[in-house]
């Protein structure tokens, strides 16, 4: 019984020390260091896009630099006249959310090759959206302190 009690006491002491160290150090958060967040959106599905753009808005509100890259079917989100429903949680269209991000100084890059494949013309893009090629896209994806999320 003596060895068993020593093991229990040692385990309890170790747990108490681990708890004290954990409690005394506040958890690191994304707000501690500004990051560059890239939201790569390849879909025009309202649920997928709404989730991605809501996260992009949150990152912006927390002081992070945001780039949204639209490729594949995502290029249709930057069209001025595309039919878009609102994301049910925010009741805002993707086009409006992208416009707000642009107005706040963030980048919206639209894949030029995907625009051709999707039949999207340059003059059909929302104001401030930038046509992107492989070099500009790669630069955004690999910038220092960049976190890439793909939807």
pLDDT in tens, 69-116: 999 999 999 999 877 766 666 678 899 999 999 999 999 999 999 999
In a domain, 21, yes or no: no
Distance CA 9, CA 24 (A): 22
Is pLDDT larger for residue 83 or for residue 20? 83
Is pLDDT larger for residue 24 or for residue 91? 91
Domain region containing 74:
35-150
Which stretches does DSSP call E strand in 7-58? 36-41
Predicted confidence at residue 97, as pLDDT, reads: 93
> Do residues 111 and 69 touch, judged by C-beta distance below 8 A?
yes
Predicted confidence at residue 25, as pLDDT, reads: 42
- Half-sphere exposure of residue 103, counting CA atoms within 13 Å on the CB side? 9
Mean of all residue pLDDT scores within the chain: 83
**Mean pLDDT of the region 30-57:** 89
Predicted confidence at residue 91, as pLDDT, reads: 72
Number of domains in the chain: 1
130: left (phi over 0), alpha (psi -120 to 50) or beta: beta
> Do residues 136 and 107 touch, judged by C-beta distance below 8 A?
no
In a domain, 24, yes or no: no
In a domain, 82, yes or no: yes
User: What sign for the dihedral angle of Cα 130, 106, 147, 73?
Assistant: negative
> Do residues 119 and 126 touch, judged by C-beta distance below 8 A?
no
Question: What is the chain's percent helix, strand, coil content, to nearest 5?
Answer: 50, 20, 30
In a domain, 13, yes or no: no
In a domain, 146, yes or no: yes
In a domain, 101, yes or no: yes
Confidence band for 3, pLDDT divided at 50, 70 and 90: low
Residue-wise pLDDT for 114-149, tens only, equals: 999 999 999 999 999 999 999 999 999 999 999 999
- Half-sphere exposure of residue 51, counting CA atoms within 13 Å on the CB side? 11
> Do residues 42 and 72 touch, judged by C-beta distance below 8 A?
yes
Does residue 10 carry a pLDDT above 80?
A: no
Confidence band for 36, pLDDT divided at 50, 70 and 90: very high
């Amino acid at each position: 019984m003596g060895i068993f009690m020593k093991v229990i006491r040692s385990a309890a002491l170790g747990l108490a020390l681990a708890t004290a160290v954990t409690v005394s150090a506040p958890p690191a958060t994304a707000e501690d260091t500004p990051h560059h967040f890239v939201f790569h959106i390849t879909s025009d599905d309202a649920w997928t896009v709404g989730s991605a753009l809501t996260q992009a808005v949150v990152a912006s509100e927390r002081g992070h630099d945001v780039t949204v890259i639209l490729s594949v079917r995502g290029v249709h989100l930057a069209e001025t006249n595309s039919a878009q429903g609102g994301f049910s949680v925010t009741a805002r269209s993707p086009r409006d959310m992208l416009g707000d991000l642009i107005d706040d100084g963030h980048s919206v890059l639209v894949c030029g090759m995907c625009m051709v494949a999707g039949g999207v013309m340059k003059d059909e893009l929302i104001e401030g959206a930038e046509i992107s090629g492989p070099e500009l896209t790669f630069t955004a994806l690999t910038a220092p302190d960049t976190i890439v999320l793909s939807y």
